[in-house]
Amino acid sequence: MNNWFTVKVKYTKSVDNGAFKRVSEPYLLAAMTFSDAEARIYEELGAVIKGEFMVVGISRTEVHDIFAYDDAETWFKCKVRYDNFDADSEKAKKVTQSFLVSAHSVKEAYERIQESLAGMMVDFEIPSIVSSPIVDIFPYNEELDRELSRKPAEEKIESVSGKGVVYSASGSDEGEDEEEELMESEMEDEFDDENQA
């Protein structure tokens, strides 16, 4: 599962009057790990930014969904709150999620988030909409993942000794500890066998 990361990039930018200015701009991209996020930002911006640039910060960002419209480049972060009924405790719990939407104004962002979430089965409210400093968004790129030789979720990864098969969804943390323990115990068994021989 991919996560959203905000990657802050520092570089020298040519401004309107022809002068050069050192800027630090945040970009949002989908990646599996911090290392993937750094590799992806170099891949995405390498052809766009002329000259050198460096990554000065990477942070995980909680964004539920992103609604991109071609006619606007300004991103607005919208907090959406709704009640989620828990069947076990028989109580309603308030859930707050963040969404990003591109729009020209706060009013348009409000209208677009209302339109985009119209299909929700629960009533919701939008307590805040703020302009985001995000310059651009790079969603999951299947072609890039193929270039990096990642395994899709449908492919199975066999264990080293061939004793079992582990299915791994790309980016999921579940089962990693068990997988590492299995591999460590297999390596210990092989080491013991070699020492006994």
Supply the pLDDT for residue 185.
Answer: 46
Q: Summarize the confidence of residues 138-163 as an average pLDDT.
A: 51
| pTM assigned to the model | 0.66
Q: What's the per-residue H, E or C state across 119-184?
A: CCCCCEEEEEEEECCCCCEECCCHHHHHHCCCCCCCCEEECCCCCCEEECCCCCCCCHHHHHHHHH
Asked if 29 contacts 37 with a C-beta cutoff of 8 angstroms, the reply is yes
75 vs 86: CA distance, rounded Å: 33
**H/E run at residue 101:** strand 91-103
Q: Please name each of the domains of the chain with its CATH number.
A: 1-61 (3.10.20), 62-133 (3.10.20), 151-196 (no CATH)
The arithmetic mean of pLDDT across residues 144-153, rounded, is: 49
pLDDT digits (tens, 9 = 90+) for 59-109: 999 998 899 888 888 999 999 999 887 777 778 888 999 999 999 999 999
What integer pLDDT is reported at residue 102 of this predicted model? 92
Is 80 exceeded by the pLDDT of residue 195? no
> What pLDDT, on a 0 to 100 scale, did the predictor assign at position 173?
41
| Strand duo 74-86 + 65-67: pairing | unpaired
Distances (CA, A) of 84 to 66, 90, 114: 21, 10, 19
Q: How far is CA 118 from CA 20, 28, 115, in A?
A: 45, 25, 5
